[in-house]
Amino acid sequence: MPYVLGIDVGTSATSAAVSRQTGSTWGDAEAVQLGERTATAPTVVYFAADGTVIVGDAAQRNAGGDPANAARDFPRRIGDEIPLMVGSEVCSAEALTAVLVTWVVNEVAAAEGMHPEHIVLAHPPNWGNYRRRLLHRALRDTNLDNVTLLPSPVTVAESHAAVYDVPNGGSLGVYDLGAGGLSSAVVRRSPIGTFELLNSAESVEPNGGNSFDDVVFEHVMDGLGGLDPADPDAWTTLSRLRRECAAAKEFLSVSTDVTVREVPLTRVAFEDMIRTAVQAGIEELLRTIRSAPADLDTVVLVGGSARIPLVGDLVKTEVRKRIVIAPEPELACARGAATAAKRLVPVPQPAPAPVVIADDVPPSPPRPLIEITPLDLPRPRSIMRALTGRPKAKTSGS
């Protein structure tokens, strides 16, 4: 069945959603499972010794014991002058991102039985033409030439508007707290229903999930009194402990306490550790809203770190607007990207049934002669005049 595809390659997690053709329209956007047990897959690319390039959960596993041959945290580095070293390879961030996008496209195509009609890829709102061009070129180098890039707040607005009414001309605030940082933005719906970015700001750590992981990690290391410096597998031990700390942080969103290697941590203590960073992010959101040329009444919270109860509570207290926390906040960009893709391509129409000319059809009888009196036809009207009753508006320069 034909479909369009939305993709979000985040600092830590990559997600995708599809909208399949249902009759003569596109259906609702549905998230695709990219991870082995989760909807999102880790944004990790691993170069195996035999030359194979491994992506997602498998790459994450390999990277644990061999970090030098793994690439992480690269999407936000697109446009940096300095390339990344992965093992002995020099890689650009855009090439690594294109590898990941190609993997997603192939995974989804294998599940759907065909390639997508169109792809929309979300990107950070502060990107200009230079970074977009770099990524487009890298995607074309991997034979992906049906990709449209859209700022992530625009995709968030699309996924919000698929559920809630957003009138044309109406504006939304977007607060996206992911792993690598915070994006705050204001978008406005245009008269034709699309969204445009009016204002945005980006702040990286200490304002995202990675830095919240660091906070838990430091707390656990203090409790353990450090790691054994003689451990021959110190790196593996360390990266495993970091993953346990990230899992503990996520667990604290649904539980009031957690224990990592016998070191206890309560939600209250964790919230005290991150409160200042979260508050700084909210101030940035307020500045972004204040300096946007629009009035808005709703702010949408997305990004995996929006699951932390303190985040929603503080935003609700400090931002005097209607606050909507997206139900699966880490998937909102991908869902909205798929929703935006629906506008960009018409639903494929079935090919008309072929006309069968049978050999044994007898020839038509000769037509009788008819005398035709020519009519005095009126002057043809332009399509615009026919539709609106007014002459076609002139475009500038015509």
Ligand X SMILES: Nc1ncnc2c1ncn2[C@@H]1O[C@H](COP(=O)(O)OP(=O)(O)OP(=O)(O)O)[C@@H](O)[C@H]1O
List residues near ligand X by CB under 6 A. 10-13, 40, 176, 178-181, 208-210, 246, 249-250, 253, 303-305, 307-308, 330
How distant, in Å, are the alpha carbons of 56, 271, 343 from that of 214? 22, 13, 41
Show the tokens assigned to 28: 């609702």
Name the binder of 199 from Mg ion, ligand X, none, CB < 5-8 A by kind.
none
- Our CB check for Mg ion shows the closer of 178 and 281 to be 178
Q: Does residue 16 contact residue 27 with C-beta atoms inside 8 Å?
A: no
- Our CB check for ligand X shows the closer of 20 and 214 to be 214
Query: Considering the complex, what minimum distance in angstroms separates the CB of residue 180 from ligand X?
Result: 3
Q: Does residue 197 contact residue 149 with C-beta atoms inside 8 Å?
A: no
Q: Does residue 57 contact residue 103 with C-beta atoms inside 8 Å?
A: no
Q: Token pair 């994450």 is at which residue?
A: 60
Name the binder of 6 from Mg ion, ligand X, none, CB < 5-8 A by kind.
none
Q: Please state, in angstroms and rounded to a whole number, the distance separating the CA atoms of residues 21 and 342.
A: 10
Pairing of strands 147-151, 118-123: parallel
- Our CB check for ligand X shows the closer of 52 and 256 to be 256
Name the binder of 64 from Mg ion, ligand X, none, CB < 5-8 A by kind.
none
- Our CB check for ligand X shows the closer of 56 and 180 to be 180
| SS3 assignment, position 195 | strand
- Our CB check for Mg ion shows the closer of 98 and 306 to be 306
How distant, in Å, are the alpha carbons of 132, 160, 251, 313 from that of 326? 27, 8, 19, 14
Name the binder of 308 from ligand X, Mg ion, none, CB < 5-8 A by kind.
ligand X
Name the binder of 246 from ligand X, Mg ion, none, CB < 5-8 A by kind.
ligand X
Query: Considering the complex, what minimum distance in angstroms separates the CB of residue 25 from ligand X?
Result: 29
Name the binder of 219 from ligand X, Mg ion, none, CB < 5-8 A by kind.
none
Query: Considering the complex, what minimum distance in angstroms separates the CB of residue 326 from Mg ion?
Result: 12
* Range list of H helices, 3-44: none
- Our CB check for ligand X shows the closer of 97 and 146 to be 97
Give me the helix-helix angle, 309-318 and 267-290, nearest 10°. 40
Query: Considering the complex, what minimum distance in angstroms separates the CB of residue 203 from Mg ion?
Result: 13
Query: Considering the complex, what minimum distance in angstroms separates the CB of residue 304 from Mg ion?
Result: 8
For 213, other C-beta atoms within 10 Å of its C-beta total: 20
- Our CB check for ligand X shows the closer of 40 and 339 to be 40
Name the binder of 102 from ligand X, Mg ion, none, CB < 5-8 A by kind.
none
* Chain residues that interact with Mg ion, rule: CB under 5 A: 10, 178
Q: Is the peptide bond before 352 cis (omega within 30 degrees of 0)?
A: no
